[in-house]
Structure 1
Amino acid sequence: MIAELAYQELEPGSLARLFGAGCAAVLVRCPDVVAGLWRGLLEDRAEQMPWEAPLVDMARNYHGSGDITASLGDLFYFQPGRHGYIARKMALSHDEGEDHATMYPPYFVQGAQHYAPRQALLDQCWAVGYRLMAALAPEGTPPRHFQVVVQRLKYQENAGDFDRLGALARNSLGRWGRAGCALDERRWQAAGALSPRGLSDLYGLLADAPVLGRLLRGVNRLLLRRDRSRDIAPGQKLIEGAHFDHRYFSALCGERAQMLTQVFAGGRWIDLPIDRGTLAVIPGSMATQAYGVRHVLHRVLHVEKPGQTGGGDPRTDNVTLLIGSA
């Protein structure tokens, strides 16, 4: 269900064929490529990462959107069981006839200064994204107009810190905002036939009602027992709930001592190896719409490992680098 190939084997249609054959993910072996990206995007100390920055700098770098997947710049999302990261996100475009990729946002604020990645690094990110996109499109079908997205996602080493950051984020909201957060948490618990949008909203509204709520919670418990996509092993904590990415693909690499990404295939969760030697490619819903490539359900967990800590560098420990296309 998880295939492997070398970066040199990426050619037009090669990923499309593997996903069409039923693969849930493809591991593209490319240690040299990942090393170059990692060095430029995470080890350049001239760049202040958002998890190292004052909150006001994050705010100045935030380019938000009502759609969580479309927000760019610096941001954080801490919603228990749904989202749990601090991130820096940027989008690259490459107009026909232009020699270089263009980044948005064009720079990041660092106190009284601005920072922008080197043009050669942006072009390298574009080249990797374009090659993956061409491999995802069926052979003979040139990739449609798209942007390459580059995301650096920081997760926490300690499981309790996710809860503390979630509480801090909720505390900044008004009374109705906090009520909405509580409703969302109930809504995300809806399983099986209750999980589609609309029905899950109704479940969230009614789950605490005196009589009907008790009945609904009982029904939902039965559905949870039958829903294998909700299974969580002992010692694991759900950080990013099961979801499809709204992009053509996501290619992941990183340094993740306590974090685990899983794909749902064949009625069970499968651990997805993510390291600094491969790009783990997962198709998203835009690939389904454009090419008929089936999108893949996936999630992110925190795994308790007593006595284990990260590699000693808080800048890069439990960080995921994502190259995608949208």
Structure 2
Amino acid sequence: MSALNNIEQPDLSAAQILKRFRAGAHVVCLRNDPRLNKLCDALLVGTGIGSDFWPASIFDLARNHIAGETNFGDVLRFVPGEYGHLARKLGFYPDPTTGKFIVYPDYAGEHKSWSIEEQETFELAWSLAMDVLQSASSKPIALSDYAVTIELLKYPESAGELQSMLDLISDSSSRWSRWGRKIDRAAASACGPFRSKYARHLYALLSLVPGIGAILRSLNARFLDSPFNFHPAEKMIVGQPHTDGSRLLTMLTGHRNVMTTEFFANGSWTEIPVNPTTLAIFPAKKYEQSTGVRATVHRYLINRLPRKKPESSRNATILIGVISRTQLEQRL
């Protein structure tokens, strides 16, 4: 079976996605599900959940930020080689008594609560995510065990704009913070054996030391041409190769034209389609632990050159995730 596989909405029955994963698919793309177009319209162009997020200023973002939290609320994440986006992140599940969705955070925007229209959007995302989860499971699922997350991700328009944002944040920081960002940048550049969880931090520190740093950077450069580390010269890596850790499944849709998401399989990278008529589904670490299906290694890239002509796209990604309900209840 191809590493990138398709499934149509009528075929979204029990265990069909799981069968595709076990047959060798790394990403399964759900196509032509009418709920997907409705969901993208509601989140990208509607007057609800994302309407005040897409045009928001950094001060609006700060107003909806939860101190110490990067998984929920409004978030600014710009770390060299790891993150490069603004995000609104929500988690929700239906109240077993009222049927109304319990949402965390319980509001977004200034003096705003979740309206009936937005409750309908949560219902749309919930039904879609639970149908996908059931199709990715070997047994009937208990809906009360799960919660769904939505992340609205807004990216820069080019690698140059991304670098300008990184420079702005760095120049607004203290001297020690700037040193920390240098270490982050060095850690993000680690390849081969230097890329493992603990080795990359040691590499990052030592690579900045005169003398030994030059030797380590030279050794690291030898791994840059491997298929795993290679990327086209016209693109810049925003998020290094990784697997998602806190979710069972990751699902991507949206509307963007300067960002790409790729997955690694059979010795090469393949682009994942991200558009309003496709929901790209792939396993995360929690799913690997429960099914034995390996979590999909993926990365994010951005074009080095800006777009030549203005386009209607917001360069936006919608990420839908499935997590255990206890993960969300702990925050309520």
What's the TM-score, normalizing by structure 1? 0.90
Secondary structure of the corresponding residue to residue 232 of structure 1? coil
Cα distance, 1:173–1:149 mapped onto 2, change above 3 Å? same
Contact 1:260/1:272 (8 A) holds in 2: yes
- Does the Cα contact within 8 Å between 2:8 and 2:33 map onto a contact in 1? no
Deviation at residue 174 of structure 1 after TM alignment: 2.0
- CA-based RMSD: 2.1
Identity of aligned residues (%): 27
| Maintained 8 Å contact 1:187/1:204 | yes
* Superimposed CA distance per residue, residues 66-117 of structure 1 (whole angstroms, 9 cap, x where no aligned partner): 6x4xx2111111122211111111001235455232111111123xx31425
Partner residue, 1:145: 145
Is the partner of 1:11 in helix, strand or coil? coil
Q: Distance in 2 between matches of 1:291 and 1:97?
A: 31
1:31-80 deviation per Cα after TM superposition (whole angstroms, max 9, x unaligned): 521211012122123654334123222112112546x4xx2111111122
Letter in 2 for 1:116: W
Which residue of structure 2 aligns with residue 44 of structure 1?
46
Q: Which residue of structure 2 aligns with residue 241 of structure 1? A: 240
How many residue pairs match? The answer is: 317
TM-score by length of 2: 0.88
Name the counterpart of 1:28: 30
Letter in 1 for 2:125: C
Choose 74-83 or 44-53, whichever is displaced more. 44-53
Distance 1:310 1:130 in 2: 37
Matched, 1:114 2:112: yes
Equivalent residue number for residue 54 of structure 1? 57
1:147 is paired with a residue of what secondary structure? strand
Inter-partner Cα distance in structure 2 for 1:141 and 1:127: 13
Aligned to 1:271: 271
Alignment check: 8 A CA contact 2:73 2:90 kept: yes
Task: Give 1:320's aligned residue.
Answer: 317
TM superposition shift of 1:144? 7.7
- Which segment is superposed worse, 75-84 or 96-105? 96-105
Q: CA deviation at 1:267?
A: 1.1
Q: Secondary structure at the match of 1:294?
A: coil
Residue number in structure 2 paired with 1:78 = 78
Extract structure 1 runs of 4+ deviating beyond 6 A.
Answer: none
Structure 1 counterpart of 2:41, which letter?
R
How far off is 1:141 after superposition? 5.9
Structure 1 gaps, min length 5: none
Secondary structure at 1:150 match in 2:
strand
Query: Quick one: distance in 2 between partners of 1:126 and 1:84?
Result: 27
Instruction: Summarize the alignment of residues 1-326 of structure 1 with structure 2, pairs less than 5 Å apart.
Output: 1-45=3-47, 48-65=51-68, 68=70, 71-110=71-110, 113-117=111-115, 118-140=118-140, 142=142, 145-226=145-226, 228-246=227-245, 247-304=247-304, 308-312=308-312, 316-326=313-323
CA gap 1:167/1:116 in 2 versus in 1, 3 angstroms = farther
